[in-house]
Structure 1
Amino acid sequence: MRIAIVGAGVVGMTSAWRLANDGHEVTVVERHDGPGEETSFANGGQLSYSYVAPLAGPGVLSKVPGWLLDRDSPMRFRPSMDPSQWRWLLAFARACNASASEAATRKLLRLSFYSRDLMQAFVDRPDARQEGGGFDFARSGKLIVHRDAAAYESACRLLDYQASLGCEQQALDRDATVALEPALAGIRQGIVGAIHTPSEEVGDCHRFCVSLAHLLQGRPGVTLRFGTRVTGLVRAGDRVTGLRTDAGDIRADAVIVSGGIGSVPLLKPLGVRPMLWPLKGYSITVPIRQGVLAPRISVTDFANKIVYARIGDTLRVAGMADIVRGGVVIDRERAQTLVTQTRAVFGDVSHGADLDALQPWAGLRPATPTGLPMIGESRIRGLWLNLGHGALGFTLAMGSAGVLADRMAGRKPVVDAEDFSAALA
């Protein structure tokens, strides 16, 4: 089958990898000059398979007023006149209950564990370790650090439930937390405890996309068309038959749209309206100087919703979920918050470096209200979607590609594909 994929972020590139391995002719079309140049470029770097609970949860709505009044809060909201924003917000509010959150978490965990298995199979390949210089993949584990006793006790109560879903975790007190990750010694007195998950991983998402491109380039039947803008979808009767680009039309038996939030205007002329909204996130990348005590385990500051991941010889710091317009223009105040928090937690790790030296970045995470991505064929024949992974694109990409490839081949997916079909437009 001839398959055209829109978007060369981590979701598009893993889809191309999986489908090419199934023997399909695959063409990837990307407006940037290389893969992983947008939302996948400088994300948090954590492959956080055990922490996939959706943003919509039973306690979220009560926290929103306080977040909106705090300049440094994990979330910001700027209302617009766009009815799509309000449609998304209403659906998000309806999903903020315990039963919906628990159901979504179970579905996401099944997909994330499948994704973990596929990622392990990938990194075990000799060519994957060699091509493109790798992507600083490491199974470093993860610590969710709590400063509030009530929040920590709540997390401890969830351990048995998480274990029933396949998570392997343990609760640590203050001393055990600092003993495991000495770089946290500077905030020792503020730590109540932490939840440790040894199996969590890290990697450079952009370099992962580049590695996939290296492996795919030159393979018979695979074409990577970078620097090419998709201007529309070609439709004949009741099905999509290809792409219209600024370099000419591309014929295809099936089209997969994996272009993140940019997929919304592309799909609109066909009457396909996926319920997506961009959650704007920020990161900084801190070079780790010789002799500085930097964390080796991934750390999530639960109170501030900021993640710290050691990727090679850098520390990636990421956070925020801003429901705003304005594209990827960097709000320097938000990026500076990451600098301030990093210095408060790890002291000298970023000492003397100004904001520009820390490579501030912003990306638009394409999120569904429920947190469940859309994986499958739309109501228009030949038009497939692999969209809406929010902040979990890197974590879920391999599993999503596996589900998509199975559905396109008529195979029964390892996880229940219907779990991710409800939101399909």
Structure 2
Amino acid sequence: MKNIREAIEKELEKRKGLLKLKPAWVARDFLPPGKRLGLPESEYNLGERGGICERWVASTTKADNKISVPNEGLSMINIDDIELTLKDAVEAAPDLIMGEEYSKTHKGLGRLPKIFDYEERLPYHIHQMQEHAKLVGCNSKEEAYYFPEGLDTGKAPDTYFGVHPYIVEENKQELLLPAMINWKDDSILQFAKAFKQIPGDGFHVPSGTLHAPGTALTIELQEDSDVFAMLQAKCGPKLISKDLLFKDVRDEDKKTHGEKIILDMINWEVSGDPYFYENRHTPPIIITTTNTAEEYWFFYNTNKFSGKRININPGGKYFSKEKGVYNILVWKGKGTFGELKIEAGNFDCDEILVSHKAAINGVEIVNQDNNEMIIYKFFGPDINDDVPFLKKYKN
């Protein structure tokens, strides 16, 4: 740990509080990839492991796949002469990265940004709430989605959320059981509502919420967890292993309760909300406008994480000053972030962690491109106490 801390301290000093990161590619075997992550065609297919369907960004979370690969899901620091994960760096030097006060009350960065990219709509599923996730040694997984503009949205660009409200109002939750027991098709989707994935738009999804994300390439911010239960047997032509229904269920609960245990893990209050769209739809909210740039909230409505989007005009500048540690993903354009070169699509320089000290001192961003620059900023819990919340609609 001492050597790691010394290496991080040296790198932070050299880069003025910034850490360059490498992409963390994650394979999934239950659906084929959408192949929009910018990799060469030949690199998506990984045989028994499936295909690369996700890129995790500034990740300290290990991917939980059937075939385990060392460090899959963990971001590596782009540093000479040493192989070092961001997870190890945060554990060895929490005060240097997260700030002394924040690191006293937070064990880690507490969030996971990712890009997910599937050819088929994802199965109807949940991410367990904390009371159930902790039973298998995991964290809960609240999450939020944003659909970037200018990309092919795929063959099924709509997401199923929740259930029809009457199911909860009339205590008919067991209507979902036959599809889980028979495990042969996608008939369980008849109980949910679909919402169009509009580019430049998004949703907030609390843990325990039933959902089946569509095929639009999606930027996601979530709690740092890979916990889930898949309730849908078939997506497109593929029958999914039923093992994924019980992936994060204790053996004794599966044996005693069978498929019914999944019903206990669903957040029925959110899933059955008749105002689901009004209470969970999160279009960008403007924060600041200058002569050369605009900044928006694009992940909000929760204290567990938050996100901002910066748009900078060609040749423009923007001074980014924040309340604590965050990371960036350069989505469009090229230029500089502090003294570091940045360029969208260049995996050597499109991802940076901004330490607490650099965040509060501020970093100048310069767009050196002839086109607009877009940068996404991702924050963990309790960094932004001014994050906005949607007006609450009640039945």
Q: TM-score range by the shorter chain?
A: under 0.3
TM-score by length of 2: 0.24
TM-score by length of 1: 0.23
Q: Which fold has the larger relative contact order, with Cα–Cα distance below 8 Å and residues 6 or more apart in sequence?
A: 1
